[in-house]
Amino acid sequence: MLVGIFAAIMVMQAGTAGPPLSPAPHDPVVQRTDDGMVLGTIGAVDANELEEAKLAATKASTSEVRNLATALVKDHGRSLQTGARLAKQFHIARLLPADSAMARAHVVEMVQLNTLTGAAFDKAFVEYTLADHTAVIVKIKATLLAAAKRPQVKAFVRALLPELAAHQQSEAKWLAAHP
């Protein structure tokens, strides 16, 4: 019976569907390149930092940590948008990092952060972001800068270093003040 009702609905809708749509022009071919690996890695870092910082913006117990989280949301959000714009401009597929160590570490961090509250949350959040920023700075210097081929992608990656270093310094300073 349901099959009959479904068939009747399909027949009724067929007459009201309108003329067939003309095929849309195809998007340009997206290239898989070293720049795609660079933009994908940076994008993954940005997405991870955004998730943690958005959680901290609402869960942190002090305004100091909430302000740090707000700055991370702003800066990593801007970086994510810039990377997406570059990928679109040059028709680059942003490729996720081949190793999943970063993804696994992020899952562990998020599980831990979701279980903590108060000062323990604040300290864990700042420790995690400091470790994450330290690791991405090392990765940028060791592999990503050399892998970036287009001058615009290389400039984007270079421009991230001072911002990441500033975050790293703020996090280290906060941890030193809250042993």
CATH number at 84 reads 1.20.1260.10
Is residue 16 a part of any domain in this protein? no
pLDDT higher at 15 or 41? 41
* Count of domains for the chain: 1
State the Cα–Cα distance between residues 85 and 66, nearest whole angstrom.
Answer: 28
Q: What is the pLDDT of residues 105-151, one digit of tens each?
A: 899 999 999 999 999 999 999 999 999 999 999 999 999 999 999 99
Q: 139 in a domain, yes or no?
A: yes
Give the residue, 86 or 97, on which the prediction is more confident: 86
Q: Determine, yes or no, domain membership for 106.
A: yes
In a domain, 8, yes or no: no
pTM of the full structure = 0.80
Cα gap 10→151, rounded to integer Å: 54
**Residue 9 within any structural domain of the chain:** no
Domain extent at residue 81:
29-177
Residue 13 in any domain: the answer is no
